[in-house]
Amino acid sequence: MVRGKNILLGVSGGIAVYKACALASKLTQKGANVKVMMTENATKFVSALTFQALSRNPVYVDTFDEKDPEKIAHIDIADWADIAIIAPATANIIGKLANGIADDMLSTALLATRADSYIAPAMNVHMYAHPAVIENMKQLEAWGYHFIEPGAGYLACGYVGKGRLEEPETIIEVIEQHQQIGQPLQGKKVLISAGPTREIIDPVRFFSNRSSGKMGFRLAETAAELGAEVTVIAGPTDVKVNNSNVNRIDVISAEEMYKAMHEAFPAADIVIKAAAVADYRPKQVHKGKMKKQAGDLTLEMERTKDILLSLGEQKENQFLVGFAAETDNVIEYGRKKLEKKNLDAIVINNVAAEGAGFAGDTNIVTYLNRSDQSEEIPLATKNEIAKKLWQFIIRDMKDERN
């Protein structure tokens, strides 16, 4: 998928520049037209001549080194590129892009290009986890940049952890897969529920759960990247959807989520109920604050409406996916839920497992479809899991049509 493509390889200054040499070479061997643009700091690790020999094209470093008076070099290359790859991407270049700073040739060209842009970060493990870097990456993702997450291992600084530039072969594989997939959800309407609900007791108290909405939001963002028109019905959470193409509707209670989901359901093609909705709510809601009393307190609870069950009963052509957060016999309970609620697929996870609980950035899940075909996804970030789940959903939808 890179053969014949015009690829701008942006190289910023880090020890991982040596891997960018291999990346330039492998892209060229695959038939891509590669032009390399380096920051001045990158040239302190590897010379521009090396990349010129590997890419068989001139290498660009200085904004003011205009070789052709009829063209502005950084704009010409920005327009020329089909794909832009920043590898290694330091915290510095990521920060520049996220804040619109163009103070050298590479940052200027990257802001000017309309090419599909892929960012492969490489930095110290603590830098990668810094809130400013995280926010910058989230902003770039919201604008449509694609991240190739770094690997974990021994870093040049001596630390062991996440921050090592992904291997050139993997970078190319990720890009080729993305280019091949393109936007398979183009024209599809996707409806997703995310987060918890709050069931009010009185003006200052409520029942809720530990769901953050992160998994649902990552699914929504990925669907938008794949071309879908996405609506998220979100319970109360501080987590944000990092994609401006996702329509977010905020609700609080299970009843409000029930109404919002049913209102949007008829127009949807794919529906994913990832929200952790309360099964019970207080039978009586107190208008004033309940005062402390001597002894124990008993609250009478009543069942909330089963959103997923009712959607399964009304389903026509929608592809309906549920979530099952369990602690025991997870696959057995998940399979029963899939059958009972007339689902096309279910995502099952053991919330008691380390790394798979609520509110974290990672998860461990099993995807099970109604043909009893299962796919296990080991411990991974919720962003990575969302991408895998959409691969399975798209595959199963194609199988249904066939």
Give dist(CA 350, CA 324) in Å, integer: 8
Q: Element (H or E) spanning 303, and its range?
A: strand 301-303
Q: Which residues are catalytic?
A: 157
Query: Which two three-digit tokens encode residue 343?
Result: 């689902």
What is the C-alpha separation between 254 and 201, in angstroms, rounded?
14
H helix runs in 274-343, sequence order: 307-314, 330-340
At a CB cut-off of 8 Å and minimum separation 6, what does 135 contact?
Answer: 98
- Phi and psi, residue 165, nearest 5°: -55, 130
Residue with tokens 């075909």: 373
Q: In a 3-state reduction of DSSP, which class is residue 9?
A: strand
Strands 319-326 and 229-234: unpaired
- At residue 181, the 3 state secondary structure works out as helix
